[in-house]
Amino acid sequence: MPLAEECNDAQSSHAGSSNASSQPNRTSTPVKIQTSLLSFLQKGLPTPSSSGDRKVRKNDFRTQEPVSPITPSSKGSNSGQVLERESSNLTEEFEEPNLEKRSSRGRIKRRIIISSDEDEDYEETDEFVDSPKKPKAQNKILSNKRLKNDELEYDIDNIDMDIDEENSDDKSKRTNEQNKKVSLTNSKNKLKEFASNSTIRRDLPVSSSVRMTDSEKKKQRVADFKAKNDERYSWLLNVKDADENPEGSSNYDPRTLYIPKSAWNKFTPFEKQFWEIKSKHWDTIVFFKKGKFYELYERDADIGHSEFDLKLTDRVNMRMVGSSNYDPRTLYIPKSAWNKFTPFEKQFWEIKSKHWDTIVFFKKGKFYELYERDADIGHSEFDLKLTDRVNMRMVGVPEMSFESWAAQFIAKGYKVARVDQMETAIGKEMREKSSKKKEEKIIRRELTSILTAGTIVDGGLLTNDMSTFCMSIKESCNTENDSPTFGICFVDTATAEFHITSFVDDLDRTQFETLIMQVKPREIVYEKGRLNQRTMRILKNCTNRTIWTALKPDVEFWDANTTYDEIRFSRYFSKNVKKTFGQEEDEDVIMENNNDDEIMENSESEDSNDAWPSAIKEAMKNPLMMSALGGLIWYLRSLKLDAELVSLKNFHIYDPIRHCSSLILDGQSLANLEVFENSVDGSDHGTVFKLLNHCATSFGKRNFKKWLCHPLRDIDAINARLDAVEELNSVPEFRDSFYANFSQFPDLERLISRIHAKTCKVKEFLIVLTAFENLMKTVSHLGGFAQKFKSDKLLKLFETIPNLTPMLLYFKEAFDHGKAENEGNLIPYPGIDNDYDDIQTKLKEIDKKLAQHLAEANKQLRTTKIIYKDVGKEIYQLEVPNSIKVPSDWKKLSRTQKVNRYWNPTLQKLVRDLQEALEVESNVLKSLNGSFYEKFDAHYHEWLLAVKIIAEIDCLLSLANSSLALGEPCCRPQFVRQGPSILEFEELRHPCIVSGIVNDFIPNDTFLGGDQPNIILLTGPNMGGKSTLLRQNCIAIIMAQLGCYVPAKRCLMTPFDRIYTRIGANDNILAGQSTFMVELSETSKILHEATPRSMVILDELGRGTSTFDGYAIAYSVLHYLATHIGCLGLFSTHYGMLTQEFSKNPNIALKHMSCEIDQDRKEVTFLYKLIPGVCPKSYGMNVANMAGIPRQIVDRAEMIAAKFEQTSQLQNTLTARSGIPITTHCDFVYLLKAAAKNGGGTLVEGVGDRALDNQTEREKEERHARVLKTIIHGIKM
């Protein structure tokens, strides 16, 4: 919309018109016309809950606030220029003739706001409609009424519509010139009458009949404020730089902003202060300090709202903005605008209004086109050429490049909808023969799919081999301090694999965080307003660039009962699921069974619960789990994905923390040990997954990630994998043959799910068949090696591979693979399909008739020179030399200098019959493709089983390759079944060290448990290698229980149930937690849940607070772990006094990382070797000197440290006078309280309450025995 600046002279209107005519292509005449037609998009139409939304700015496409829920016919409309009077507002629109604008077929519509404020000048805003004359200077018109946004009328007389393929002129959109003059005269007369009455009323007292209450006055002031604000910031609709170059021009400077003087003069002092800065930094997000807050305004506020979901409000006349009930997915279209749309526009807006937050690719011929706001986004984000078609702004891309462009939009965070043509022009004409309804005379289009980053199913849009998950979350938590209960469902849409789970979590939401770290969902679906703040913080901390979709509770995010009913009614698991929705075979049955009860009875008999997946049957016992499934199914249904994904029955119960069968790696351990993401840039470089993943196939890589999330705990299962790894490494020919055949293998797991959905392309189907043929050949070849294997696991895998040869043979004999490759259709051999054979027979008959007709034409005209010629869409034209005279009923279609081309009535009918037969053939071939896909999908589980077995072999080969790549020394881990926990590594190296430089890495021994102390209290200088030692032990444990060799000379261990890590010092700003609070929260989890079979890693606990507090906490935690829990662990510290206190504790060994000190040069040489004893110092001063701290500061610090050590009396306060350690006293008191409890006392012990080894009385007695043993040892010492 062109900028209409206010001027002090009588030429203001003329200046506005001049400005408009000087704009670039976007403000040309056709755009003016369509801007009027679609001006409801720029009016900020109100929702039922928010009537004050401001206008959408044309130049800020990413941050536009969409307009509101759809009701294309919810309001009544008034025709012509009607003066509308409401209790709160009034607007009059008038038109005057202007001969200069007649050629543009549009006229300027002026809108005059009638305000009750006498001191306010009226403002004009230009809307584009027909306008033949410059408006004259107007008097000020004042009133307390203003036109409501949702009742705006649009006059689009004489707009030259560009109608769709049906070439309809849509004459109902044009108005007679005589009607325009009458309407013009009426509007002018009413305006003069009202202005006169308004002037008279100004000086008269207000009568009681129009007196407003205080509440009404307040509402009126708010409405007036927002209306005035809309006008004051209308200049932002056309952004210019400081030199007044429009945005998009070659000289445009995006760093600056031009503010019209007329707008500047109306700013408040605060607004002037803001815009003075913002106008010089237009491309920068400006955080404006105001009291205790930093605030973002206008465009910056829009970005903050769209990118980070910051709440938008209206303050200081600028947008900060939004309604709490606003639904960004939908758009309201006034009926007055809807009635003026062409059929094509109605077709587009019917879909777009339901998917306002989605980029809609609209199929038109050989192109996919984007309109209006979508076109603006395509133009601004990807520089697609912006043009004007069918009264709307438009950009287009060729249909062949849809996947490429869709992928680019998705990568930018947009949702993409695909609208396809469901018929050709011939098919449309054939349909119109049987229907004369006007609304049907347009090519049918339907929304076929909606693509989001978390629900991509098309292989061409997927960017990597790993799974991309969409997750639905249902949470039940009464108060902030109650333990939450979760129901969660997530799906990998590319493979149609669903996982459902439900669990009661602790306050820290440990299981939930672990699940999120394991899955890393790309898209999250949740109930609006129902997630706890702690849950939201975890999601935001653990995910990156996630798409959030809030659904309305109950209505969209179904409860358990609704979910059950929807699954049953939709008949996802019925064999005839597609036929039940209108296929011919079932139509008669439905007509006969008009009784709803009978229909439901038939439905239940065909789709009983017996056919449902076992995972859903299990979920039916848990309302939260069913509700989470319901929310996800509703969302998939909105994306047109539910039937094709759910009907595969690929559902599984998921346990994020498998207490009985796997080594538990919670979210903190996955992050601290860098299992999937490194701590530097969040990539997989240097991670455990990157180290061990050597899979050749895409489905193997995904399966290996599942293995790494849940390492094994059962010794037999671990040894079975290790046996397979040894076998595979002993037969390199097997490994070489596998990689040679499967390295370039297609992703069969994803492709077979697309075949089930019937969205697979013909070439992809051929690739799948060829791949399975190669798979069977390769398995047959590898089977020769497998016969010599002794590994039960490998032998069982080869025995369970299904025989796919008969199924592959059917497809080989059913259609010509060569023609399918070249023509893109599965053309059956004769006798395979009767419908195809019939249409081929008909085509041959038509070809024969055409040949006969050509012979007859030559005979009739006594020549042999007449031939058939195809020109464009008009095929089989009779090409006749100019010298030959033809009958009068022959219709000339084209000509050259030497020949004329004709159709005669007989030929025209034959051509029409041929075109219709070809259309039928096309439909038959499409149906045939679907039929072949159904035959393939009938054996889905056999195909999937073969893929899963190859994936498991691939994972075993990956472990074998990882074991070989470790270098020397490496060994097979040995496991101890019974007895106390034990962990022994000899010459252990960090496995992520490159093998080529392995000799440069210093190996270390670790001995814990058994005859050795359970915990190592580790000291050493800063940068001495303590953290590396902690991590390498944990990673070696993971590798061993995964079934891989470890980088050590010897490994002996008991399987661990869980690894706890407290490494690093990071605060949690989003959770409002300090570094120390984060430390204690993670430590608390360890104290409550650790068992004697756990491995605990604590790195410098207590450093986040004062020295004395930190020391005391470290002291207490270490004592409890060593004495009460009895777990194995490594505890690093810089508290020297801690080593003195525990020097005689039998459960703790004192060790340190060795180094050499040069006191003269203040330097440290790190030896990275773990040796017994205590490090005398942390040598922080030496490290400070090496870091470049000025020497005088280092010397001064050393003096202060020495003085502090001399005056410290810490030792005296922590050791009892009797010489018995204070911990022994504490343990004795603990046993007395435990005895009092057994004797009827009320002792409630909170520590260790969630540990699996502390639930029964016997297990508690074992803990007490450990404590008693420690007390006796302390007394003897």
Q: Where among 1211, 1240, 1264 does a domain terminate?
A: 1211
Question: Strand, helix or coil at 1257?
Answer: helix
- The answer to whether the CB of 469 falls within 8 A of the CB of 660 is no
* DSSP calls for 933-992: HHHHHTTHHHHHHHHHHHHHHHHHHHHHHHHHHT-SS-B--EE--SSS-EEEEEEE--TT
Mean pLDDT in runs of 10 for the chain (1277 residues)?
38 39 41 54 44 39 38 38 36 36 35 34 35 39 37 34 40 46 51 44 40 61 60 74 83 88 85 89 88 83 77 54 68 88 88 91 90 90 81 88 88 89 74 61 84 83 84 89 90 92 88 90 91 88 86 91 91 61 34 41 56 90 94 92 89 84 87 86 85 92 92 93 92 90 90 88 91 92 84 90 91 87 86 87 90 90 88 86 88 88 89 88 86 90 93 94 87 90 90 59 88 88 82 93 93 92 60 66 83 88 76 86 87 82 84 80 78 79 77 78 63 50 66 58 50 60 66 59
Structure pTM?
0.69
Question: Strand, helix or coil at 437?
Answer: coil
Residue 848, in any domain of the structure: no
CA atoms of 969 and 234, how far apart (whole Å) = 74
CA angle 350, 351, 354 (to 5 degrees): 95
Domain of 708, CATH number, reads: 1.10.1420.10
Query: 1207 and 1227 in one domain?
Result: no
Domain of 388, CATH number, reads: 3.40.1170.10
Residue 297, in any domain of the structure: yes
CA atoms of 931 and 720, how far apart (whole Å) = 43
Work out how many domains the chain is built from and give that number. 7
Dihedral (CA of 726, 731, 734, 740) sign: positive
Query: 158 and 75 in one domain?
Result: yes
Question: Strand, helix or coil at 1188?
Answer: coil
H-helix or E-strand spanning residue 1100: none
Give the pairing of strands 874-881 and 1015-1019: unpaired
Give the pairing of strands 288-290 and 293-295: antiparallel
CA dist 42 to 58, 223, 234, Å?
A: 8, 18, 10
pLDDT for the residue 708: 93
Dihedral (CA of 672, 674, 678, 683) sign: negative
- The answer to whether the CB of 223 falls within 8 A of the CB of 91 is no
Query: 580 and 565 in one domain?
Result: no
Residue 17 CB contacts under 8 Å (≥ 6 apart), including other chains: 108, 126, 134
CA atoms of 978 and 962, how far apart (whole Å) = 29
CA atoms of 571 and 565, how far apart (whole Å) = 10
Residue 856, in any domain of the structure: no
pLDDT for the residue 10: 37
* DSSP calls for 221-251: HHHHHHHHHHHHTGGGGS-B-TT-PBTTSTT
Give the pairing of strands 1050-1053 and 974-975: parallel
CA atoms of 628 and 485, how far apart (whole Å) = 12
Q: Where among 916, 947, 965 does a domain terminate?
A: 965
- The answer to whether the CB of 272 falls within 8 A of the CB of 264 is yes
DSSP conformational letter for 209:
G
- The answer to whether the CB of 667 falls within 8 A of the CB of 513 is yes
Which two tokens mark 845?
């008959």
Residue 1198, in any domain of the structure: yes
- The answer to whether the CB of 236 falls within 8 A of the CB of 12 is no
Residue 343, in any domain of the structure: no
pLDDT for the residue 945: 94
Phi-psi region of 891 (alpha: psi -120 to 50; beta: other; left: phi over 0): beta
Query: 434 and 520 in one domain?
Result: no
**Among candidate residues 980, 1008, 1271, 1231, the one with its CA nearest the CA of residue 1144:** 1271
Domain of 1133, CATH number, reads: 3.40.50.300
- The answer to whether the CB of 640 falls within 8 A of the CB of 450 is yes
CA atoms of 449 and 402, how far apart (whole Å) = 13
CA atoms of 101 and 446, how far apart (whole Å) = 40
CA atoms of 64 and 276, how far apart (whole Å) = 23
pLDDT for the residue 390: 62
Residue 1112 CB contacts under 8 Å (≥ 6 apart), including other chains: 1102
Query: 1180 and 1040 in one domain?
Result: yes
pLDDT for the residue 1100: 81
**Among candidate residues 123, 127, 102, 105, the one with its CA nearest the CA of residue 114:** 123
CA atoms of 1038 and 665, how far apart (whole Å) = 9
- The answer to whether the CB of 535 falls within 8 A of the CB of 512 is yes
- The answer to whether the CB of 892 falls within 8 A of the CB of 902 is yes
Position 373: which residue type? R
Residue 1030, in any domain of the structure: yes
Residue 862, in any domain of the structure: no
Residue 464, in any domain of the structure: no
Query: 263 and 182 in one domain?
Result: yes
Query: 652 and 523 in one domain?
Result: yes
CA dist 79 to 155, 157, 685, Å?
A: 9, 12, 66
Which residue in this structure is represented by tokens 């358990």?
560
Query: 995 and 942 in one domain?
Result: no
CA atoms of 1063 and 20, how far apart (whole Å) = 64
Burial of 384 (0-12, 13-18, 19+ CB in 10 A): middle
CA atoms of 368 and 36, how far apart (whole Å) = 25
Q: Which domain holds residue 591?
A: 575-603
Query: 221 and 364 in one domain?
Result: no
Query: 541 and 488 in one domain?
Result: yes
- The answer to whether the CB of 164 falls within 8 A of the CB of 344 is yes
CA dist 740 to 693, 737, 744, 774, 1063, Å?
A: 17, 5, 8, 12, 42
Which two tokens mark 839?
């249409």
3-state SS string over 20-84? HHCCCHHHCHHHHHHHHHCHHHHCCCCECCECCCCCCCCCCCCCCCCCCCCCCCCCCCCCCCCCE
Give the pairing of strands 867-871 and 874-881: antiparallel
Which residue in this structure is represented by tokens 């911990």?
1223
Question: Strand, helix or coil at 459?
Answer: coil
pLDDT for the residue 1229: 67
Domain of 540, CATH number, reads: 3.30.420.110
Query: 447 and 565 in one domain?
Result: no
CB-hemisphere CA count at 13 Å for 216?
9
CA atoms of 294 and 289, how far apart (whole Å) = 4
**The sheet that has 1015-1019: what strands, in order across it?**
664-665, 1058-1062, 1094-1099, 1128-1132, 1015-1019, 1148-1158, 1163-1172
Q: Would you tell me how many other CB atoms lie within 10 Å of the CB of residue 760?
A: 22
Q: Where among 1157, 1191, 1211 does a domain terminate?
A: 1211
Q: Which residues of 955-974 are buried (b: 16+ CB within 10 A; e: fewer)?
A: bbbbbbbbbbbbbebbbbbe
Question: Strand, helix or coil at 294?
Answer: strand
CA atoms of 541 and 268, how far apart (whole Å) = 40
Query: 721 and 593 in one domain?
Result: no
